[in-house]
C-alpha cells in the first residue's frame, strides 16, 4: 500500500508536451522503478480500481477530465504485471458514469484491455475526525486490492487547486457532495481536513497526475486549457500536491494546509525527493491563472437545482441521445 512516513517522499516528474501513449507509459514505468515497494505493488490476480477525474461529460480537449491516454498507459502497465481485473469508476457531478466516461474517450479501453467502467455503489457511513455528519463513501472500494488515483491538474474556484487529495472526493457518491459543502459552512480548511480523512481511509497505492494539458481559471469545469506539459507521480498525495502547487506558484491550497495541520504525508519540500525532472525551475510557470475564489457553501435552492439537473441529464437527455443513436 501507499508508503507515507517521516522518510522522504519521492515525486517523479517528467516534461511532456503532448499525449503520447508510449511516453506516458514509459513515465509510469520509470516512476514505479524509482519508488520503494515496486516489487509488491501489483501482481497477477489482483483487482485494481482506477479513479480518474470524470467530473462532467466533456471531450478530452476541454481538460475537465483525466485524459484517456493517461488511463490507457496505466492499463498497459497493469497488464504487464498480469493484472486482469481493472475497473474504472468515479461519481460524476452531472450525468451517468457511462455517459461521462464515453464522452471523455474511455470506451475503447473496454474492448482493448477488458476494462470495466462501473459506477460506485454501496454508500456506507464514514466516521471522520472532523465530525462532518452524513458523510458516506463508496463501500465497494473494499472489494479492490489496489486503488490508483489518476487526477487532472486543475485550478478550483472553491479549493484553489484540485489534484491528488481532492480527486478522492469523487468516492463520495452523487448528490451527497453538495450537501457536504453545506455542512462545513464555507470553512475551507475544515473541508480540506475532511478530504484528508477520506484520503487516509482510501489510501491509494499510487497517484499519477495528468498535467500535460491542465485547466486554469474558473476550474474545475469552466476554466480554459493551459499547456503545462508535465506528468507527476508519487505514493504520497501530499508531496505530489505540494510539488504541483510550487510548479503553479499557488501559495495557498486548502487541502495542503489541512494535510500540514493533520500531519498527513510530507508537506515540507526538504522532505520531498524529486525524481526525473529534478529542477523545479525547469517546469515552474508564472502565468497560470488561478480561479476567482467562491464560497463553498450551497444554499437549499442550489442543492435542489443540482438534483433537478441530474434528473434531466440522466432521466431525459441521455435516454433521448441513446434513442437518436439507435432508433
Closest CA to 200 of 97, 130, 143, 297: 130
For residue range 227-255, what is the model confidence (pLDDT) as tens digits? 999 999 999 999 999 999 999 999 999 99
Helix pair angle (176-183, 300-312), 10° resolution: 170
Contact 172, 135 (CB under 8 A): yes
CA–CA separation, 234 and 214 (whole Å): 18
pLDDT of residue 40: 76
146-150 and 47-52 beta bridge pairing: parallel
DSSP 23: H
Question: What's the whole-number average pLDDT of the chain?
Answer: 90
Instruction: Find the radius of gyration of the CA atoms of the chain.
Output: 19
Question: What value does the mean pLDDT take over residues 283-306?
Answer: 79
CA–CA separation, 244 and 318 (whole Å): 36
pLDDT of residue 250: 97
DSSP 139: G
Contact 86, 46 (CB under 8 A): no
| pLDDT tops 80 at residue 19 | yes
Domain ranges of the chain: 9-325
Cβ contacts of residue 315 below 8 Å, gap of 6+? none
For residue range 35-91, what is the model confidence (pLDDT) as tens digits? 865 557 999 999 999 999 999 999 999 999 999 999 999 999 999 999 999 999 999
| pLDDT tops 90 at residue 272 | yes
pTM comes to 0.90
Interior/surface letters 143-152, b for 16+ CB within 10 angstroms, e for the rest: ebebbbbbbb
pLDDT of residue 5: 47
Cβ contacts of residue 112 below 8 Å, gap of 6+? 72, 75
Neighbours of 131 (CB within 10 A): 10
pLDDT of residue 200: 97
pLDDT of residue 309: 65
pLDDT of residue 99: 94
| pLDDT tops 50 at residue 306 | yes
- Site of grid cell 493484472: 83
- Site of grid cell 503532448: 18
Cβ contacts of residue 265 below 8 Å, gap of 6+? 4, 9, 236, 237, 238, 239, 259
CATH 3.40.50 fits 9-325, yes or no: yes
Question: How is residue 132 written as a grid cell?
Answer: 462532518
Which band of pLDDT confidence, cut at 50, 70 and 90, is reported for residue 224? very high
Amino acid at each position: 500500500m501507499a508508503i507515507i512516513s517521516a522518510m522522504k517522499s519521492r515525486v517523479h516528474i517528467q516534461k511532456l508536451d503532448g499525449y503520447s501513449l508510449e511516453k506516458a507509459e514509459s513515465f509510469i514505468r520509470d516512476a514505479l522503478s524509482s519508488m520503494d515497494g515496486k516489487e509488491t505493488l501489483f501482481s497477477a490476480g489482483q483487482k485494481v480500481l482506477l479513479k480518474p477525474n470524470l467530473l462532467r461529460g466533456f471531450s478530452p480537449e476541454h481538460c475537465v477530465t483525466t485524459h484517456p491516454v493517461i488511463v490507457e498507459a496505466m492499463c498497459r502497465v497493469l497488464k504487464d504485471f498480469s493484472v486482469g481485473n481493472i475497473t474504472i469508476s468515479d461519481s460524476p457531478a452531472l450525468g451517468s458514469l457511462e455517459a461521462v466516461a464515453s464522452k471523455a474517450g474511455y470506451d475503447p479501453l473496454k474492448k482493448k484491455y477488458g476494462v470495466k467502467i462501473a459506477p460506485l455503489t454501496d454508500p456506507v457511513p464514514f466516521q471522520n475526525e472532523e465530525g462532518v455528519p452524513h458523510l458516506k463513501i463508496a463501500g465497494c472500494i473494499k472489494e479492490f486490492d489496489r486503488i490508483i488515483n489518476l487526477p487532472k491538474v486543475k485550478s478550483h474556484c472553491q479549493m484553489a487547486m484540485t489534484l491528488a487529495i481532492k480527486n478522492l472526493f469523487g468516492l463520495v457518491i452523487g448528490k451527497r457532495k453538495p450537501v457536504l459543502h453545506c455542512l462545513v459552512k464555507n470553512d475551507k480548511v475544515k473541508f480540506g481536513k475532511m478530504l484528508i480523512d477520506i484520503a487516509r481511509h482510501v489510501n491509494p497505492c499510487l497517484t499519477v497526475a495528468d498535467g500535460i494539458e491542465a485547466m486554469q481559471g474558473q476550474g474545475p469545469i469552466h476554466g480554459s486549457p493551459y499547456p503545462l506539459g508535465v506528468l507527476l507521480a508519487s505514493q504520497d498525495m501530499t508531496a505530489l500536491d505540494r510539488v504541483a502547487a510550487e510548479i503553479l506558484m499557488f501559495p495557498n491550497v486548502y487541502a495542503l494546509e489541512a494535510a500540514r495541520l493533520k500531519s498527513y504525508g510530507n508537506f515540507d519540500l526538504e522532505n520531498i525527493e524529486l525524481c526525473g525532472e529534478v529542477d523545479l525551475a525547469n517546469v515552474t510557470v508564472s502565468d497560470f491563472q488561478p480561479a476567482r475564489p467562491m464560497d463553498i457553501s450551497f444554499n437549499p435552492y442550489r442543492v435542489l437545482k443540482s438534483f433537478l439537473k441530474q434528473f434531466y441529464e440522466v432521466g431525459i437527455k441521455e435516454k433521448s441521445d441513446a434513442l437518436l443513436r439507435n432508433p
